Structure 1
Amino acid sequence: MTDEDSARLGLPLLPAGQAQKEVWHNEALALLDLAVQATVEEIDRNAPPSAPEPGQCWIVGSAPSGAWSGHAGAIAGWTAGGWRFVAPRKGLSARHLSSGQAAICDGFGWKLGEVRAAQVLVDGVQIIGARGAAITVPTGGSTIDAELRACVETILIMLRKHGLISS
Structure 2
Amino acid sequence: MADELTDRFALPLLQAGQAQKEVTHNEALVRLDMLSHGAAVSADVSVPPSAPVAGQCWIVAAGASGAWAGQGGAIAGWTAGGWRFVTPVIGMAVWVVDRGHAMRWSGSAWIDAEVRADGLYQGGIRVVGAQGGAIMSPSGGGLVDAESRAAIDAILVMLRLHGMIAES
- The answer to whether the superposition gives a TM-score over 0.5 is yes
Distance across 2 between alignment mates of 1:29 and 1:39: 16
2:44 is paired with a residue whose SS is: strand
Distance across 2 between alignment mates of 1:143 and 1:106: 55
Aligned to 1:62: 62
Alignment check: 8 A CA contact 1:44 1:73 kept? no
Alignment check: 8 A CA contact 1:6 1:12 kept? yes
1:80 maps to amino acid: A
For these two proteins, the number of residue pairs brought into alignment is 144
1:155 is paired with a residue whose SS is: helix
Deviations 1:86-120 (A, max 9, x none): 1121111211223431121121211234229xxx9
Unaligned stretches of 5+ residues in structure 2: 121-127, 129-141
Unaligned stretches of 5+ residues in structure 1: 121-127, 129-141
Q: CA deviation at 1:57?
A: 1.0
TM-score, normalised to structure 1, is 0.74
1:57 maps to amino acid: C
Q: Which stretch shifts more, 101-110 or 75-84? A: 101-110
Aligned to 2:14: 14
Q: Give the alignment's Cα RMSD to 1 decimal.
A: 2.7
Q: CA deviation at 1:51?
A: 1.6
Deviations 1:42-101 (A, max 9, x none): 113211112212111111012221211222111101111110011121111211223431
Distance across 1 between alignment mates of 2:46 and 2:82: 17
1:112 maps to amino acid: D
